[in-house]
């Protein structure tokens, strides 16, 4: 049954959950992150009864799945937090139909824990078991503990297609964590279960749904081999990297492929989310992984299945935590994590935009601010161009600055490495243009530099307008 006898009366079918708990509710939260462990049954209720949820506020633990976004497609969502995964939700936000604030991962959980808003009506989460002590979660912890704390009622989907993942998690209350408690990235300071007031459990539903690949991430770029080679060269030659140094390599296909190309063994990974394929490297390329979720990229489903079948074999090497732990600036700083951060684009001085394309939001800022503000070294890692080489991803000026230049030590593209340490803005611009810009755009950016007048952070708005038109 996977639940204690005293909770058997809470087991319901979806229609009863709709009629007794969800109908006409004004706010709802869903656990899940990176497309992993997203509830699979409850979203279908919204798909079947959209007229009863007009103006609802939707909170999530992170990036969701295509099935989730499809189920919510016809709902008139008034406000959404804090990350987007599909075109429809982006369009609704960019057109002003849905309000959104893309908080950083840590800030989002922190605000939820401070009770700085009205309580969320219902939180929905996926689990593998409920026992007398608490909830055994699935392959994502994400913001679920904070969402449950901020909600009046909780609905649990128990996924019977997964084993009971006892011992995989380390869950601590956000207000009881101190950075000095983490002597090693694998240190465990909390509980194996999510402990809540079980009187808040309004319903339990059984699910047998399989996992999907993360909706937010595509295939790795063609330049990945050159990018990876330059990254590991930067780590080796510029900062004398040793495998005792914890590293965070971002999320998505680039991050996943970087470890494939790593020349190092016994890496220690402290990250927000980890791709399932990394579990294959435990014992050689990777020694430890501390993350908030293990997610599945398209084509990597076999790794997720294998990990769940044998997860106890990894119990000394992999731990899943709430994202207010993985993304805590204090803990990241204390562990002296080296940060490799992807971006949509950067300017010639090294500031990065990770959330918007011009004025339109794409996904959200995610955990980039959390890691880049506290990392020992920060490198922005990306291809030099987009749209099959038609657009430079290194530009004179950004429409949105998420990561200011002061936090960025290196820029790495398939073209080369820019070492920005101890350089003023003009020197940084020359370093980036010469070493990281694609040859098709290098001359035009060097010409732009000739139009710059006096000033510590010079720009020429007329030339920027010309650049954007071209």
DSSP string, 240-283: ---TTS-EE--SSHHHHHHHHT---SSEEEE-SEEEGGGGGGBT
Asked if the bond preceding 82 is cis, omega within 30° of 0, the reply is: yes
pLDDT > 80? residue 396: yes
Between the CA of residue 113 and those of 2, 117, 176, 324, 458, what are the distances in Å? Answer: 29, 10, 12, 10, 42
Pairwise pLDDT comparison (78 vs 244), residue with the higher score? 78
Residue 156: φ, ψ to 5°: -115, 125
Write down the pLDDT at residue 209.
86
Contact 37, 137 (CB under 8 A): yes
Residue 184: φ, ψ to 5°: -135, 160
Question: Residues 221-250: what's their mean pLDDT?
Answer: 89
pLDDT > 80? residue 180: no
Contact 206, 11 (CB under 8 A): yes
What is the location of CATH 3.40.1080.10 in the chain?
5-207, 224-469
Write down the pLDDT at residue 179.
63
The pLDDT-based confidence of 276 (bands split at 50, 70, 90) is very high
What share of residues in the chain are helix, strand, coil (percent, to 5)?
35, 25, 45
Write down the pLDDT at residue 309.
92
What share of the chain in percent tops pLDDT 90? 76
Contact 337, 289 (CB under 8 A): no
Write down the pLDDT at residue 470.
67
CA distance linking residue 155 with residue 31, whole number of Å: 11
pLDDT > 90? residue 125: yes
Of 282, 243, 233, whose CA–CA distance to 435 is shortest? 233
Classify the C-alpha dihedral 359-362-365-368 as positive or negative.
negative
pLDDT > 90? residue 31: yes
pTM for this model (two decimals): 0.93
Residue 171 pairs in a beta bridge with: 191
Write down the pLDDT at residue 15.
95
What is the C-alpha R_g of the chain? Answer: 22
Largest CA distance in the chain: 75
The pLDDT-based confidence of 259 (bands split at 50, 70, 90) is confident
Write down the pLDDT at residue 313.
92
pLDDT > 90? residue 219: no
pLDDT > 90? residue 267: yes
CA distance linking residue 28 with residue 144, whole number of Å: 12
Tokens of 22: 């969800």
CA distance linking residue 343 with residue 9, whole number of Å: 48
Runs of H (alpha helix) within 72-116: 87-94, 105-113
The pLDDT-based confidence of 218 (bands split at 50, 70, 90) is low
Strand bridging mode 120-130 / 135-137: antiparallel
**Range with top average pLDDT, 15-29, 176-190, 234-248, 250-264:** 15-29
- The mean pLDDT value of the chain amounts to 92
Write down the pLDDT at residue 261.
84
CA distance linking residue 53 with residue 264, whole number of Å: 51
pLDDT tens digits, 322-369: 999 999 999 999 999 999 999 999 999 999 999 999 999 998 898 899
What share of the chain in percent tops pLDDT 70? 97
Of 141, 139, 138, whose CA–CA distance to 128 is shortest? 138
Contact 218, 301 (CB under 8 A): no
Q: Which CATH homologous superfamily contains domain 5-207?
A: Glutaconate Coenzyme A-transferase (3.40.1080.10)
Between the CA of residue 222 and those of 52, 219, 439, what are the distances in Å? Answer: 46, 9, 17
Write down the pLDDT at residue 114.
87
Q: Is 362 helix (H, G, I), strand (E, B) or coil?
A: coil
Cβ contacts of 96 within 8 Å, gap of 6 or more: none
What CATH number was assigned to the domain covering residues 224-469? 3.40.1080.10
Write down the pLDDT at residue 110.
92
The pLDDT-based confidence of 413 (bands split at 50, 70, 90) is very high
The b-or-e profile of 192-221 (16+ CB within 10 A means b, else e) is: bbbebebeebbbbbbbebebbbbbbbeebb
């Amino acid at each position: 049954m996977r639940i204690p006898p005293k909770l058997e009366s809470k087991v319901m079918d979806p229609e009863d959950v709709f009629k007794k708990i969800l109908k006409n509710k004004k706010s709802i939260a869903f656990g899940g992150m990176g497309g992993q462990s997203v509830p699979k049954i409850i979203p279908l209720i919204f798909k079947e009864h959209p007229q009863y949820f007009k103006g609802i506020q939707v909170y999530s633990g992170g990036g969701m799945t295509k099935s989730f976004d499809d189920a919510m497609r016809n709902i008139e969502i008034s406000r959404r937090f804090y990350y987007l995964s599909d075109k429809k939700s982006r369009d609704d936000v960019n057109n002003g139909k849905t309000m959104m604030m893309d908080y950083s991962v840590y800030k989002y959980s922190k605000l939820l824990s401070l009770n700085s808003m009205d309580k969320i009506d219902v939180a929905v989460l996926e689990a593998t078991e409920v026992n007398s002590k608490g909830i055994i979660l699935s392959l994502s912890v994400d913001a679920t503990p904070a969402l449950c704390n901020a909600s009046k009622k909780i609905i649990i989907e128990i996924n019977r297609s997964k084993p009971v993942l006892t011992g995989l998690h380390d869950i601590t209350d956000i207000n009881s964590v101190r950075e000095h408690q983490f002597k090693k990235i694998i240190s465990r300071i909390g509980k194996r279960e999510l402990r809540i007031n079980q009187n808040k459990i309004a319903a339990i539903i059984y699910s047998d749904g399989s996992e999907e690949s993360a909706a937010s991430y595509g295939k790795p770029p063609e330049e990945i081999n050159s990018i990876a080679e330059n990254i590991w060269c930067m780590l080796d030659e510029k900062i004398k990297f040793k495998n005792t140094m914890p590293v965070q390599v971002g999320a998505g296909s680039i991050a996943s492929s970087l470890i494939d190309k790593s020349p190092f063994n016994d890496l220690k990974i402290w990250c927000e989310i980890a791709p399932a394929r990394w579990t294959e490297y435990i014992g050689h390329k990777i020694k430890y992984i501390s993350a908030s979720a293990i997610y599945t990229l398209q084509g990597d489903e076999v790794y997720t299945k294998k990990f769940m079948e044998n997860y106890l074999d990894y119990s000394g090497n992999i731990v899943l935590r709430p994202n207010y732990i993985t993304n805590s600036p204090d803990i990241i700083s204390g562990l002296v994590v080296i940060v490799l951060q992807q971006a949509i684009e950067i300017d010639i001085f090294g500031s990065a935009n990770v959330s918007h394309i011009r004025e339109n939001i794409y996904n959200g800022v995610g955990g980039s601010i959390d890691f880049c503000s506290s990392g020992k070294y920060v490198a922005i890692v990306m291809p030099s161009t987009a749209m099959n080489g038609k657009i430079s991803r290194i530009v004179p000026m950004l429409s949105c600055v998420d990561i200011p230049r002061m936090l960025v030590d290196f820029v790495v593209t398939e073209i080369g490495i820019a070492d920005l340490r101890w350089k003023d803005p003009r020197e940084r611009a020359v370093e980036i243009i010469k070493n990281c810009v694609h040859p098709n755009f290098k001359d035009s950016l060097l010409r732009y530099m000739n139009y710059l007048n006096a000033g510590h952070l010079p720009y020429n708005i007329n030339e920027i307008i010309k650049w954007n038109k071209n």
